[in-house]
Amino acid sequence: MRLLFLGDMVGKTGRTTVWEKLPGLIADLKLDFVIVNGENAAGGFGITEDIYLETINAGADVVTTGNHVWDQKEAVTFCTRHDQFLRPANYPAGTPGKGSGLFYARNGARVLVANIMGRVFMHPELDDPFKSAESILAACPLKEQADAIIFDFHAEATSEKQCFGHFVDGRASFVVGTHTHVPTADHQILNGGTAYMSDAGMCGDYDSSLGMEKEEPLNRFISKMPKGRFEAAHGPATLCGVGVEISDSTGLAEKIAPLRIGPRLAETIPDFWA
């Protein structure tokens, strides 16, 4: 199975670039399943229902989120209407929406996708992500109820991300970090066969501060005084993500490589799909 994960869409330039390029990528790379993190898609803060639907219409099979999931108030309502929209699974019981789900890939495979949020340096501090993952894996084990299992681990600390990867190694197909908006160079397959990358990066304008126009963040570092609001940068966006090839027989990863298309960052497309 060929899977593509795209990191946090940031603002209009990030989401429109995903919408424009994703259909071609699905066709050219013969993708079976696509996951997109959409938590920064609406002006850099949260996601609206219209943006969610456009992302699904462009070819995403699942849209994940993170700590900004509720920044657009309508998300509290529309999250209950769409099974392909995930918020972090370790929110307290009774929170609207869902944190994981079983979906069908284009090749017929059953794909469990779970959205988990870390707790180190994160707000709000949610329930234990490790216990949450354990419950999800126990309810839908790899190669029993699911042919592949993917975790979007939305967290700040790379140590927490790495430990989470080791925690589910051999029991999940792929763990990918989101939230920090900077693609890491540590894509690898762990000892037990789980593909791992600390952060997929963002789909947005890299002439920025994490997708925001750089003047105000820079001002706050220097002066410690706000002069205005953070605004999503509007320059040309780079598409950032990671491709994984998953064994049909074991559900574990066989290959992993970053995908980056656009200005500023060195372009790369998984060569094992060439």
What is the C-alpha to C-alpha distance for residues 165 and 7, in angstroms, rounded to an integer? 17
Q: Is the pLDDT of residue 93 over 70?
A: yes
Q: Is 28 annotated as a binding residue?
A: no
| Average pLDDT value over all residues in the chain | 97
Q: Please, which pLDDT band fits residue 273 given cuts at 50, 70 and 90?
A: confident
The answer to whether 181 is a known ligand-binding residue is: yes
Q: Is residue 39 a known part of a binding site? A: yes
Quick one: average pLDDT of 139-154? 98
Percent of the chain with pLDDT strictly greater than 70? 100
Residue 272 has pLDDT above 90, yes or no: no
> Catalytic residue at 68?
yes
Question: How far apart are the two ends of the chain, measured CA to CA in Å?
Answer: 15
- Is residue 57 a known part of a binding site? no
Q: Is 271 annotated as a binding residue?
A: no
Q: Where are the alpha helices (DSSP H) in the chain?
A: 11-28, 49-57, 75-78, 129-139, 158-168, 215-223
Q: Is 191 annotated as a binding residue?
A: no
Q: Where along the chain do its domains lie?
A: 2-206+238-273
pLDDT digit string, tens, across residues 237-271: 999 999 999 999 999 999 999 999 999 999 999 88
Average of per-residue pLDDT across 68-96: 98
Q: What is the reported pLDDT for 274?
A: 61
CB 243 within 8 A of CB 270: yes
Active-site residue among 68, 82, 166, 234?
A: 68
Q: Are 118 and 156 in contact (CB under 8 A)?
A: yes
18, 7 Cβ separation under 8 angstroms: no
Architecture of the domain delimited by 2-206+238-273: 4-Layer Sandwich (3.60)
